[in-house]
Amino acid sequence: MKPKMIREGITLSGGYRAIGKSNNNIFYVLIRGGEFTMGSPLGEVDRRSWGSDGTQYQVIVSDFYMGKYAVTVAEFKKFVEASGYHTDADKADNSVIGNRKAKMAEGVNWRYGVSGMVRPLSEENHPVVHASWNDAVAYCKWLSAITDKRFYLPTEAEWEYACRAGSRTPFNTGENLTTKQANYDGNYPYNNNPKGVCRQNTVAVNSFFPNSWGLYNMHGNVDEWCSDWYGASYYDECKANGTVTNPAGPETGSYRVLRGGGWRSGAEYCRSAGRICTSPDNQNHDIGFRLVFVP
């Protein structure tokens, strides 16, 4: 069964997004469920040699709504101001900054950009960074409570299915990804293609063209948290069980999965199957998140 390339935009009144609109709205896209091959083939260029892309296996996902954009600074600001929440960066009183060379800096939190300066108003429609997995989950719980709907971080399967948008190539753009299509470090292009630009910063969440299912920046800009624990053998276990419906990752683990690559990443890390992991309390200047919800 092929994925149905049907998408439907919905608006949640009383939401917390304002991008090109005079009112505050959150925009989500209905992703029709289907079956797809998750992971990358062994011959895919720049596939991680130690297997982090995962063994390919067949997955069926159910319908879900996914945010067209990553959560912005402006949205996260509303959450913090309304709830009084203290992020992991607030508690640690530091986070990672730096364009070319990353370093730990005191006093940095979600209000700050990648270079360690407080975000100007012109960057409030950029993805929020310096937000841990714990912070992202807290945001989901808050938004669920005030809207009476269930918001959560996407599973890896949901994320990859939505990113691919029916494609089977390394990127939803085809066999290559250029810096005219996504925000990553163009000094490290894919498969010896020509170099591109290195912006050394995030860009607005509605930058570039969306994929064919209407989702923006699934490649690059910020690595995005998924709900799953990371498990090195999980894909192999799933493949042994045949086609798996709505896999949600291992039951336990030490690290949570990140997808999509960020503004500091080389193109290889932006591939649809590319995956990395880190501890759930880690906050960084190139990590963000987007949401899935159930009406």
State how far the Cα of 127 lies from the Cα of 55, in Å rounded to an integer.
31
The Cβ of residue 83 has, within 10 Å, a number of other Cβ atoms equal to 14
Paired tokens of 13: 């009144």
For the entire predicted model, the pTM comes to 0.91
Which of 45-59, 68-82, 160-174, 261-275 shows the lowest per-residue confidence on average (mean pLDDT)? Answer: 45-59
pLDDT > 50? residue 17: no
Pinpoint the alpha helices (H) of 56-165.
Answer: 73-83, 88-92, 133-147, 156-164
State how far the Cα of 242 lies from the Cα of 75, in Å rounded to an integer.
40
CA atoms in the 13 A half-sphere facing the CB of 63: 11
User: How distant, in Å, are the alpha carbons of 79, 135, 145, 148, 230 from that of 141?
Assistant: 10, 10, 6, 10, 22
Give the β-pairing of 9-11 and 57-61: unpaired
Q: Model confidence at 102, in pLDDT bands (50, 70, 90)? A: confident
The contacts of residue 120 (CB under 8 Å, 6+ apart) are none
Q: Model confidence at 76, in pLDDT bands (50, 70, 90)? A: very high
DSSP state of 149: S
pLDDT of residue 101: 74
pLDDT of residue 18: 28
pLDDT of residue 48: 73
DSSP state of 128: P
The Cβ of residue 72 has, within 10 Å, a number of other Cβ atoms equal to 23
pLDDT of residue 279: 97
pLDDT of residue 57: 95
Percent of residues, the chain, with pLDDT higher than 70: 89
Q: Model confidence at 7, in pLDDT bands (50, 70, 90)? A: very low
The enclosing H or E element of 30 equals strand 27-31
Using an 8 Å Cβ cutoff, are 159 and 217 in contact?
Answer: no
State how far the Cα of 287 lies from the Cα of 175, in Å rounded to an integer.
25
Q: Model confidence at 237, in pLDDT bands (50, 70, 90)? A: very high
**Average pLDDT in the 143-152 region?**
95
Which of 3-17, 122-136, 176-190, 225-239 shows the lowest per-residue confidence on average (mean pLDDT)? Answer: 3-17
pLDDT of residue 88: 96
pLDDT > 50? residue 292: yes
CATH 3.50.30.50 fits 9-294, yes or no: no
Q: Model confidence at 100, in pLDDT bands (50, 70, 90)? A: low
Paired tokens of 91: 């508690």
- In one-letter notation, the amino acid at residue 61 is V
pLDDT > 60? residue 19: no
State how far the Cα of 39 lies from the Cα of 52, in Å rounded to an integer.
9
The three-state secondary structure class of 217 is: coil
